Structure 1
Amino acid sequence: MKLRDIFTTALANTMRTKLRTFLTVIAVVIGAFTLTMTSGIGAGINKYIDAQVDAMGDTNQVSVMPAQTMDANVGLTAGEPQEYDPDAQGTVSDFGIPSMDEEDIEEIEQIENIEFVDPVIFVDIEYLETPDGTRYTVPSAGFASEQSMVEYAAGGPGSNAEDAYELVIPTSWLSAFDIDDVANADDVIDQEVIITAQDLEGNAETIEATVVGVAEETITGAGTSPIPSFGLTQQIAEINNTAGGTTIPFTYIQAMATVHDLATNEAQIKADLEEIDMVGQTVEDQMGFIGGIIDAITWVFNGFALIALLAASFGIVNTLLISVQERTRQIGLYKALGMTSGKVFTLFSTEAIVIGLLGSVIGIGLGSVVGVVGNALLINGPLDSVPGLTLYAIEPLALLVIALVIIGIAFLAGTLPARRAATKDPIEALRYD
């Protein structure tokens, strides 16, 4: 019996007991479907994260924080008490977190290959007045560094000049300028707005600013509120930190450093920052953390799918053991006609492979269809406010691996009944009734 004959015979034998085969295949389908969905969701979200990183206008930025900040965050959950070191505390912000002052910013600026340092400043805007005189509250203003971390529906990021008072608004703010369609976002560019901020004594001061860009929301949360430029942020911060004509020195929890050729100088920058008790993280580092969480969740769900496949493998064993029992005389006849034990083993193993193949094809196909359709319905429905979002992506190599894993599990499950069939004595098998 040739290999082709073995396969066609195995397929015919599998179809003999349709209900039994159907129930066994369904169990395999469930595992294949779950694996396809979880791997596709993981691939889709990671694809979206990668797209957000690639879409950033300036990926040569490093987020800089005091090293003690990282230690403090770890310390919130660490069980070991740390000995007090007065020299290691540094400046502390109003939130009790180690922060940086102007001297620290200047020290960062002196590091080789750092071109510009933008301190992250929390500013409080009382209201924003549009050209028609309507005033809108600004619950929280974005950081100047976020201007290089968003995609733009119109315009672009503002200048880093200290005397450039510029503003990027989110797409959700277009209605405040009587623009109902994002396609007309260009109409808001170069419009003048008035920013009003209060000092520590409650006195209001105004600043005129120019709208230079319209930002779309990102997975990081950037682009959800108006983003003032570096110069505008500094001006608002000076107002917020002034009392009786005296400006209180700024402290910063974080700063964004623009690096010349980050791909080449990343290791050197991080090492130099460590020497001054600072920690540097690139956008890829931060996004990689999110991707790591997504991958971990995906593997957990993949584990459940593998458990389902393990349960399905017992169904394959049971189905083939019953088949061996029912076809004992047939096995004896095969052997009496000269079929070797190896070919008998191959015949029943192939039946297990056929079950695995059917289950994987149906499960992967069903999972792919549900994933693609579900992704389209969600991103064009409840999640249409998140541009570029991908919840499911098909990766042919991953689907091939899933199919091979399922077929491999089916083959292993079929080895026990196949071995039992191969070791049957032909004379005893022919006598079986």
Structure 2
Amino acid sequence: MTDLMPPMQHPVHEPATETWPTLARPRSNPVRRYGAATAIRLVAKDLPATIHLDSNRSYGLGGPAMRVHRTAAFLDRLGQDAGSGFGEAYLAGDWDPEPGTDLADLLVPFAERFSNEETRHLLPKWAQSLRWLVTRSQPGEQENDRAGARENISRHYDLSNAMFSEFLDPTLTYSAAYFGTPDPVADLATASYDELTDAQLRKLDSILDAAGVRSGSRVLDIGCGWASLAVRAAQRGAWVTAITIASQQALLAQRRIAEAGVGDRVQVALRDYRDQIGEFDAVLSVEMIEAVGEKYWPVYFDAIERRLAPGGVGVVQAIVMPHERMLATRNTFTWVQKYIFPGGLIPSTKVIEDVTTAHTGLRTEVVRHLGADYARTLRIWRNRFVERWPEISGLGFDDTFKRMWEFYLAYSEAGFRTGYLDDVQLLLTKR
């Protein structure tokens, strides 16, 4: 236990539970509350961060600090759901970083425990054996069949084109940028929105170069987003079919393609990847596999292989995690799945290799790692999101939504900064 500190003044957030029913305070359970408090003590005993649980209890070794405003509610949430409780407590306003502490900097020590092989398990083995009591399984309604996938994707990507436009760069590229520097996270305090567009175009070009896209190439873009990759390919003279299952996203993608003057070279279709036909010289898919679901990974890679013409090349950019962590968490219901990406699951590089070997004739090769670049991208997005919050709130989003997106972006940044997450560009060729 650290030296006691007086509470610092901080405005305490109160969510509108009629809008956010999942944030209603859970029913008090003394056993679960005691278990959560015990877990905090165990986690914090060698954690380079500080948890001020209330005015009388502070844990940790110092460093980035968080202040719990409502201890009972905080412990009740953790005791009810290990996968979502910590993030839900932040959404509900039960805790905040201490003033002057960046949210991602606070989350980094927790993420480091997961990414470090020797300290990966936050709790001792006896406590880990009890996690099933507070761990939820993924709900069946988030199944990624055709109907479920469309609903899951729409809940995120059709949230608001205007909202995404406020914090993404002008290309509307919603994936890791490529800054081309030796250490993109060396000084995140200097991360600037002004550098993002060039870094995103560098990323798009790296994908097109890897796939050998040139004038006359036939290109399929699976999960095309707001069409930045499709536009960039068409500007090389390629013929592009861009598909998405997010209806509002497709409408804006079509408009952006027309505005770029490449409407004669790009066709946007509201289509599931399983329903695409034809042959292409290049099949591209950027950070879409995370929304496919484990059950459908063989189907996804089989679809890529079937669409490749003889001599064709596929490039998949994928967020990945260590294989052991993927196996340990693949059946749990996480905060990100509950609030950000329903039906999502991050694969490992190994499972991609295993699936492609077992179910396809594709050979996989990692051509680039962008994990550190993603951390910088996320810091820029979060800074821009906060900066543009007056405009975003004017679209009808409340302060709880702001906290949700700040936590999502900071949580993700911490994962990439520590190596718990990586982002890889994979080259797929037929064996």
- Same topology, TM > 0.5: no
Query: Normalization by structure 1: what TM-score?
Result: 0.19
Q: Which has the higher helix share?
A: 1
Q: Which has the higher contact order (CA 8 A, sep 6+)?
A: 1
Query: Normalization by structure 2: what TM-score?
Result: 0.19
